[in-house]
């Protein structure tokens, strides 16, 4: 009788180990791997694609405003294959909407831009610009939307949030694109391990410490629609800039609640 198991088992173990060497990177959790993307290269390629795209529209009357503004934020993907406008000499992907005529003024339009990339250091945002138009396609107002970061308990409340108020009864149409200033700008982004939710797939795959400025890019995912409670809460709690440094918790407490030894009262005087 021949016993081959002692020879076969080490061979199999060696084969598994060798295969593991080649797949070690795949076995590491995403947030422990080195970034595979270069945000500079990704944006450069996206900018080149946008620059060489043929614009469909160059004046406000050229756009089609058949789509009605969603009653709550909806997801739109802007990028290669999307229609391109040339406004003020700048190419941009865009969205065009017909505004509700029965909406009670004023009302707010919500925006959320998602990080374009798996890693925080290799991501960028599509930063929107809005133009409000009357029934003759004449601009009433224009604004670069300020984006502010909010890290919620799920994907719906995580991203870069912004808002725009409509308070003009002549408003009929809304154009959303990204101006030259927006495409060259940045958004403040604050991260810490405490900010992360295990249920948030978009955030679990990023570096988890420090504060950053996320560059704006030419394409990405944008949520647009009438403001709802979920987005309103995220907008109100969002972080737009680095907080000012205070004097510390103890000093704040001493100022707010004077203690006998802090000079708030004179304990040497008889009571």
Residue by residue, what is the 3-state secondary structure of 243-270? Answer: CCCCCCHHHHHHHHCCCHHHCCCCCCCC
State the pLDDT confidence band at 119, using cuts at 50, 70 and 90: confident
| H and E: helices and strands count for the chain | 7, 14
| DSSP 8-class letter at 201 | H
Give the confidence band of 247 by pLDDT, cuts at 50, 70, 90. Answer: low
| Within a domain: 256 | no
Residue 202 pLDDT grade (very low, low, confident, very high; cuts 50, 70, 90): very low
Residue 57 lies in a domain: no
How would residue 103 be classed by pLDDT, with cut points 50, 70 and 90? Answer: confident
Position 41 in a domain = no
Q: How confident is the model at residue 256 (pLDDT cuts 50, 70, 90)?
A: very low
Residue 9 located in a structural domain: no
pLDDT bin (cut points 50, 70, 90) of residue 54 is very high
Q: Judge whether 26 lies within some domain.
A: no
- Higher-confidence residue of 234 and 248: namely 234
Q: 120 versus 46: which is more confidently predicted? A: 46
Tell me what pLDDT residue 38 has: 53
Question: pLDDT tens across 156-174, in order?
Answer: 999 999 999 999 999 999 9
* Phi and psi at residue 238, to the nearest 5°: -70, 155
pLDDT value at position 257? 52
Number of domains into which the chain is organized:
1
28: pLDDT confidence band, cut at 50, 70 and 90? very low
Q: Please report the pLDDT score of residue 120 as a whole number.
A: 78
Q: Which residues form the domain of 83?
A: 64-243
User: CA angle, 152 as apex, 150 and 153 as ends, to 5°?
Assistant: 170
pLDDT of residue 117: 83
For residue 14, is it within any domain?
A: no
The dihedral region occupied by 158, where left means phi > 0, alpha psi between -120 and 50, and beta the remainder, is beta
89-117 burial, b at 16+ Cβ within 10 Å, e below that, comes to: ebbbbbbbbebeeeeeeebebbbbbbbbb
Q: Identify the pLDDT of residue 34.
A: 47
pLDDT of residue 75: 98
Confidence band, pLDDT 50/70/90 cuts, at residue 242: confident
Average pLDDT, the chain: 79
Least confident of 29-38, 50-59, 117-126, 170-179: 29-38
74 falls within a domain = yes
Phi first, then psi: what are they for 115, rounded to 5°? Answer: -65, 130
* In the predicted structure, residue 197 carries a pLDDT above the cut 80: no
Q: Is residue 264 part of a domain?
A: no
Look at residue 10 and tell me whether its pLDDT is greater than 80.
Answer: no
């Amino acid at each position: 009788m021949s016993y081959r198991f002692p020879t076969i088992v080490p061979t199999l173990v060696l084969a598994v180990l060798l295969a593991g060497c080649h797949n070690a990177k795949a076995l590491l959790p995403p947030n422990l791997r080195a970034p595979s993307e270069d945000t500079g290269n990704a944006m450069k390629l996206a900018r080149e694609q946008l620059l060489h795209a043929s614009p469909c529209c160059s004046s406000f009357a050229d756009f089609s405003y058949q789509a009605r503004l969603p009653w709550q934020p909806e997801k739109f993907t802007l990028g290669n294959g999307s229609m391109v406008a040339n406004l003020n000499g700048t190419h941009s992907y865009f969205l065009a909407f017909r505004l509700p005529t029965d909406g009670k003024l004023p009302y707010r339009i919500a925006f959320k831009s998602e990080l374009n990339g798996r890693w925080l250091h290799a991501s960028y945002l599509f930063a929107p610009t809005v133009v409000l138009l009357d029934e003759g396609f004449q601009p009433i107002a224009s604004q670069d939307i300020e984006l502010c970061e909010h890290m919620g308990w799920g994907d719906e409340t995580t991203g870069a949030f912004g808002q725009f108020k409509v308070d003009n009864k002549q408003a009929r149409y809304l154009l959303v694109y990204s101006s030259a200033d927006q495409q060259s700008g940045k958004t403040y982004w604050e991260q810490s391990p405490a900010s992360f939710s295990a249920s948030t797939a978009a955030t679990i795959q990023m570096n988890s410490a420090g504060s950053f400025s996320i560059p704006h890019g030419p394409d990405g995912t944008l949520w647009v629609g009438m403001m709802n409670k979920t987005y309103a809460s995220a907008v109100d709690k969002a972080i737009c800039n680095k907080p000012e440094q205070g004097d510390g918790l103890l000093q704040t407490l001493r100022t707010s609640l004077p203690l006998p030894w802090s000079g708030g009262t004179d304990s040497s005087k008889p009571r």
